[in-house]
Amino acid sequence: MASKINIDLAVNGTSHAVSIEPRRTLADVLRDDCGLTGTHIGCEHGVCGACTVLVDDKPVRSCLMFGVQAEGKAIRTVEGLANGDTLHPLQQAFWENHGLQCGFCTPGFLMLSAGVLEQNPDMSDDEIRDVLSSNLCRCTGYQNIVKAVQIAARELRARPRV
Amino acid sequence: MSYIGRSLRRIEDRPLLLGKGSFAADCNAPGHLHMRVVRSPVAFGRILGVETAEAAALEGVAAIWTADDVAGLPPIDFRQMGLERLAPYRQWVLARHYVRYVGDPVAVVFAVDPYVAEDAADLVFCDIEELAPQLDATAEPVTFMPDIHLGLLSEPAVIRRGYGDLDAAFAAAHKIVALEVKVGRHTGVPLETRGGLAVHDADTDVLTLYGAAKVPHYNRDAISRMLGLAPGRLELSEGHVGGGFGIRGELYPEDVLLCAAALRLRRPVKWIEDRKEHLLAANHSRDQVYRLHAAVDQRGFILGLKAEVFTDQGAYVRTHGTTVTDLSAAMLPGPYVIPAYSVEGHIRLTNKTPAGTYRAPGRYESTFARERLIDRIATELALAPVEVRRVNLIAAEAMPFDRGIETLGTAVVYDSGKYRDLLERVLDRLSYDRLQAELAARRDRGEHVGLGIACFVEKSGLGPQDLVRIKVDGRGTVAIVTGVASVGQGVETVLAQICAETIGIPIERISVIHGQTDRIEIGFGAFASRVTVMAGSAVKIASEALRDRALETAAKLLQTSPDALRLSGGMVEAVGGGASLPLGDVALHLEGAGGLTGEGRFVAGHMTYPYGVHAAQVKVDPSTCAITIERYLIGYDVGRAINPMLIEGQIVGAAAQGIGGALLEEFVYDENGQPLAASFADYLMPTCHEVPAIEVLLREDAPSPLNPLGVKGAGEAGINAVGAALAAAIDAALQRPGAVTQLPITPARLHRILRGPQS
Amino acid sequence: MKPAPFDYVRPASLSEVLALLAKHKDDCKILAGGQSLVPAMNFRLARPAVLIDINDIRELDYIRSDDSGLTIGALTRHAAFHRSVVAGPLGAMLSKVASNIAHYPIRQRGTFAGSLAHADPASEWCLVATTLDAAIVAKSTRGERTIAIGDFFNGTFSTDLEADELLTEIRLPALGQGWRTGFYEFSRRAGDFALGMALAALRFEAGIVREARLGVGGVSDRAIRLRKLEARLVGGAASPQMIDTIAHEAWASVSPIGDIHATPEYRRDLVATAVRRALAEAAA
């Protein structure tokens, strides 16, 4: 086994001290070393987007980054999306609009949408659809996912910005 | 408050939204080992040896097994009964003598970490003498395993079905219409790959397999038989399941290896399939060729239909046995009268990944074939395709309609349906005549646009039975325990809605326990769109029993008669107002007498047959061969809708998969049997760009007379006729009737249609 | 699909990177965006012994623009081009091309330079660099050299870069007044690799084409610049008839590859369509 590297990872505002081989993907480190299994692994080659997390506020495929690369970065995962018991508007919109069935792709879609809407809150419905084509869902046919994100985007826009 | 018929948001969603799901890969146990399968790199060959020494020497490797290490394990059985003659075609958990497809498990490595397990698996060397693979299911059968099974050919079975006087039909024909069509090889590909964790508890001597799906009870019994475990020594536990679609949850070699390893290595063992493995090893599906001959009269009425079907079953016959071909044979006539019919369904083995069922197995394919035939008949007789459908559809007055055929051990009897009525409603919704005129005008302006219609009958609610137990506790909360499984389709919400409606309790107080073999003694799982029909009916029966018991008990406590009471809002209350009692109090009162419970068992000897119509409007760009779906409408009669939002979700999601199979997804092999679509860069599933807004016209015109709810299944309606409708629409857009005879309609195939074969 | 073991280094300066490259040569790989390399490593198709992560080399993260053109540093991500990086036709064209590269999250990590170094024949940036006659700057401990794009690509996944060299910079010539561009790509799904694409840039003076750039990608083992056809465009008005003629000649001039997504015949027809549409956009 290759030697391990000790690093601190900042995930959802909490520091995790981990000792990892450099070859471990960020997705595996989050799941196995940080115990945050909300980030799902669907393809490990960057296509399905189930493992999407935010690194320094940008949505990225965590299967295409190594854990060691995330040292010093602010990582956000689905576990950090809700505010205590209050669901994030995206989570609420997915729930109200039946935007999930099996729920496996859901964390990836939520983090993708959360990251993109923070960077670009004024996206049109078409732009939202274009971004959502980044991730795969096998259950819903996307209709309700797109609808949920569009609705949440409107709600987020209506909020006072900080 | 009424619960049935309302589009309630789901009770199971919250943990999934918060990242607190428990999928197979989320299960861990202290000190667990990771299993990695070493797979055949070649399509067909004789195993000369498997060298494991170098891999075994790697730090962190606990064990490596080859076929010799599991010599005592039998091959994996069929879930269908009565297929003894197919026994030699079953798959061993590790290949013996021969490998028969790229991906065939040859060895397994157990190591402390999945990375190390993969390092070690890379070091296992399979010495294989390569042989010429069989890759065409329509070719003459060849030897299955030379030297091992003398004379055994690659055609395990031929399914023959039929009824009526076919000779007379053909003798009386105005015309004979012939057609050959092919449906490509594709499959379910759930977003969660397969996986599991097997844990043996030394204190109780119980082995538990986490990560179960679809048919936990059957798999418990099957694995127990294979490992020689007494009843009670193995339990299966289902957590969240990341999509099923027919393929996930079937019993595969890896499930058995996991359980065997946890027992033998005395450590928990985990296996998570990677995506490449999934595309090589989990069941493929479809891959059928249909050769049809129809005897028709002048109106296009089909007097008789003769069919030959070739199913490319892949390397082995897996758990589904002959199911796909059997269903193809039985459902090919679909919603049409067709008074005489015969079919020969050839199940042929090739050196590709073994095949099984995928959402609407045998119907996606047979609907494509049948509806292409209807369109061909219309062309040859110069009739409108819709008119030929009208002429052939079974009339509502003919219901129940006995097809005169059996499938999966039950007679095919369409229980109810207003097929012609639904077709007219769909045409109406489309403003059919006006739309066709608009499309014709656009074509005159040089656009390539067209509309396609396809009709189908589905089957749902396969028995034989299901059992449900419901219990109310002292706090007034309700637990429903069922043996069916959840693959993400909304089982918990639907069952809770039926219970809430029946016992008048807020749905928030209901929880549903499913897929746990230690919680209920029987369970038949989640397939064939059976859960709402079977478990839903059992919930209704159990809820009624519980309600009666609650009313009787409360009547004694309130010194009145049960007739004077009703259940509402979690209370037992007097019909005329006055005294009331929380349901939880009734439960407390009954604690010494077994509690406030209800049990329901629903037994079904026949399936129920929903039906529908798909309409697709497409635009073709002949310069790029791009196909754009401009509009897609699905009319569907579900009998009775428990939760319309969830039904639409099922239909839209299935339609997206149907679009994938019709336009994008295909497992392509080269001439050596090497799979060329073994990643998501080459196996193309639709994204939200490729799926148009799907309109659903949901009807409740013909409730099923076969169950107390009147429901029919909804899982497969959305996918059934997608290939058929899109093919017809593309024909129309090109104004080339009969152009499409093969799915998927890739741009390269469309190019060939438009330009003809080129050198 | 877990990568094989490797040693990981994340140097803090360019000189350290070059020293490491000189030391490890073919045993190492540069990790920038990783959006092509890491999938290859997860499939174990790539097994570098040493991975040199250049993401901390801030001096490589820049886009500079002056009269002569655009200079793109090795750490510039695809997403940097979402908004126009330079006023005028070049920035607008790069922005349009960028939106065709894979998907949003991939574009947050993947780099312009990484695409060129990877040399996938279906890469949009390889087409841009080829068509616009980019210059590639490579550095090593031995020094710096500039490679003309025509000498850079050797074929699929193969470039002129030596094992100890780092691609540090790409220089794109400016497209000043009078330039108009057109880009057309066809892929099976949005975001997939191109089955055929074309890029056209035309400089008009009083309605007449004075300079032309035309290239196609996704067709053979590298992007192709169609110089003969460029010459035919110059002096004309890029009329629809002329565009048809050029499209047909593009069709005749390429020898496309076949794969599971497209036959050579189909690709050849796509080339004609892509050229026609790219030129029509530029001429519009």
Question: What pLDDT is stored for residue C265 in this prediction?
Answer: 96
Stretch(es) of chain C classified as CATH 3.30.465.10: 61-173
Altogether, the residues listed in chain C come to a count of 284
Q: What dotted CATH number matches A89-158?
A: 1.10.150.120
* pLDDT more than 70, % of chain C: 100
Tell me, what DSSP letter sits at residue B59?
T
Residue A162's pLDDT band (cuts 50, 70, 90): low
B480-498 confidence digits (pLDDT tens): 999 999 999 999 999 999 9
Stretch(es) of chain C classified as CATH 3.30.43.10: 7-53
Distances (CA, A) of B213 to B217, B241, B279, B486: 10, 7, 18, 7
Residue holding tokens 């850079």?
C152
B166-191 confidence digits (pLDDT tens): 999 999 999 999 999 999 999 999 99
Choose, out of A53, A68, A134, A149, the residue to mutate when testing the contact with C (most C CBs < 10 Å).
Answer: A134
CATH class, range C179-283: alpha beta
Q: What is the ipTM of this complex?
A: 0.98
Stretch(es) of chain B classified as CATH 3.30.365.10: 285-461+607-755, 463-603
Element (H, E) at B534: helix B531-557
- Give the CATH number of domain B24-132+193-241+248-281; options: 3.90.1170.50, 3.40.50.410, 3.40.50.2020, 3.30.70.980: 3.90.1170.50
Say if residue B330's pLDDT is above 50: yes
Fold entry, domain B285-461+607-755: Aldehyde Oxidoreductase; domain 4 (3.30.365)
- Cα diameter, chain C: 61
Distances (CA, A) of B633 to B636, B648, B652, B654: 10, 12, 10, 13
Question: What pLDDT is stored for residue B83 in this prediction?
Answer: 87
Altogether, the residues listed in chain A come to a count of 162
The closest of A157, B723, A63, B422 to C105, measured between CA atoms, is: A63
Distances (CA, A) of B544 to B449, B497, B548, B549, C36: 54, 14, 6, 9, 59
Say if residue B80's pLDDT is above 90: no
Say if residue B322's pLDDT is above 80: yes
Is A22 touching C (CB cutoff 8 A)?
yes
Proportion of chain C in helix, strand, coil states, percent, rounded to 5: 35, 25, 35
DSSP string, B129-188: EE-PPP--TTSPP-BSSTTTSTT-BS--EEEEEEES-HHHHHHT-SEEEEEEEEEEEE--
**Three-class DSSP category at B594:** coil
HSE-up of residue C176 (Cα within 13 Å, Cβ side): 6
Residue holding tokens 């798909």?
B614
Instruction: Say if CB B507 and CB B3 are below 8 A apart.
Output: yes
Question: What pLDDT is stored for residue B709 in this prediction?
Answer: 97
Question: What pLDDT is stored for residue B366 in this prediction?
Answer: 98
Question: What pLDDT is stored for residue B758 in this prediction?
Answer: 58
C-chain CB neighbours of B195 within 8 Å are none
C133-160 confidence digits (pLDDT tens): 999 999 999 999 999 999 999 999 999 9
Distance CA B154, CA C254 (A): 44
The closest of B501, B524, B478 to B708, measured between CA atoms, is: B501
Cβ–Cβ of B17/A110 closer than 8 Å? yes
A-chain CB neighbours of B680 within 8 Å are 43, 45, 47-48, 136
Q: B406 has which bridge partners?
A: B411
Instruction: Say if CB C184 and CB C197 are below 8 A apart.
Output: yes
Of the candidates A102, A133, A140, which has its C-beta nearest B689's C-beta?
Answer: A133
Question: What pLDDT is stored for residue A161 in this prediction?
Answer: 65
Nearest chain C residue to B691, by CA: C189
Domain spans of chain A?
A: 5-80, 89-158
Query: Measured between CA atoms, how close is A75 to chain C, in angstroms?
Result: 14
Say if residue A2's pLDDT is above 70: no
Classify residue B64 as left (phi > 0), alpha (psi -120 to 50) or beta. beta
Question: What pLDDT is stored for residue B759 in this prediction?
Answer: 45
- Helix C240-253 crosses helix C264-283 at what angle (to 10 degrees)? 150
Instruction: Say if CB C261 and CB C188 are below 8 A apart.
Output: yes
B583-635 confidence digits (pLDDT tens): 999 999 999 999 999 999 999 999 999 999 999 999 999 999 999 999 999 99
Mean pLDDT of chain B: 97
B-chain CB neighbours of C192 within 8 Å are 681, 684
Residue C258 CB neighbour total at 10 angstroms: 12
A-chain CB neighbours of B719 within 8 Å are none
Query: Measured between CA atoms, how close is C262 to chain B, in angstroms?
Result: 5
Order of all β-strands in the sheet with B571-574: B565-568, B571-574, B580-582
Of the candidates C2, C43, C192, which has its C-beta nearest B115's C-beta?
Answer: C2
Distance CA B697, CA B699 (A): 6
Question: What's the rounded mean pLDDT across residues C7-12?
Answer: 98
Q: What residues have CB less than 8 Å from B161, skipping those under 6 apart?
A: B329, B330, B341, B342, B343, B345, B405, B406
Is A48 touching C (CB cutoff 8 A)?
no
Q: Which token pair is B273?
A: 């399939």
Fold entry, domain C7-53: 3.30.43
Preceding amide of C173 cis, omega within 30 = no
HSE-up of residue B718 (Cα within 13 Å, Cβ side): 29
Domain C61-173 matching CATH 3.30.465.10: the answer reads: yes
Q: What dotted CATH number matches B463-603?
A: 3.30.365.10
Nearest chain A residue to B693, by CA: A143
With b meaning 16 or more CB within 10 Å and e meaning fewer, what string describes B533-568?
A: bbbbbbbbbbbebbbebbbebbbeebebebebbbbe
A95-154 confidence digits (pLDDT tens): 999 999 999 999 999 999 999 999 999 999 999 999 999 999 999 999 999 999 999 999
B207-225 confidence digits (pLDDT tens): 999 999 999 999 999 999 9
pTM beyond cutoff 0.80? yes
Q: Please classify residue B666 by burial: count the beta carbons closer than 10 Å to its beta carbon, then call 0-12 exposed, 13-18 middle and 19+ buried.
A: buried
Of the candidates B119, B664, B682, which has its C-beta nearest C4's C-beta?
Answer: B119
Question: What pLDDT is stored for residue B81 in this prediction?
Answer: 80
Of the candidates A68, A69, A133, which has its C-beta nearest C191's C-beta?
Answer: A133
B-chain CB neighbours of C260 within 8 Å are 666, 668, 676-677, 682
Nearest chain C residue to B679, by CA: C43
Q: Which CATH superfamily is domain A5-80 in?
A: Beta-grasp domain (3.10.20.30)
Q: Which token pair is B342?
A: 């015969």
Cβ–Cβ of C262/B747 closer than 8 Å? yes
Residue holding tokens 């759930």?
B190
A-chain CB neighbours of B687 within 8 Å are 132-136, 142
Torsion (CA) B366, B371, B377, B378 in degrees, nearest 10: 180
B65-76 confidence digits (pLDDT tens): 999 999 999 999
User: Which stretches of B381-487 are DSSP H helices?
Assistant: 385-392, 419-430, 432-444
> What's B537-560 look like in SS3?
HHHHHHHHHHHHHHHHHHHHHCCC
Of the candidates A23, A101, A133, which has its C-beta nearest B687's C-beta?
Answer: A133
B412-460 confidence digits (pLDDT tens): 999 999 999 999 999 999 999 999 999 999 999 999 999 999 999 999 9
With b meaning 16 or more CB within 10 Å and e meaning fewer, what string describes B181-192?
A: bbbbbbbbbbbb
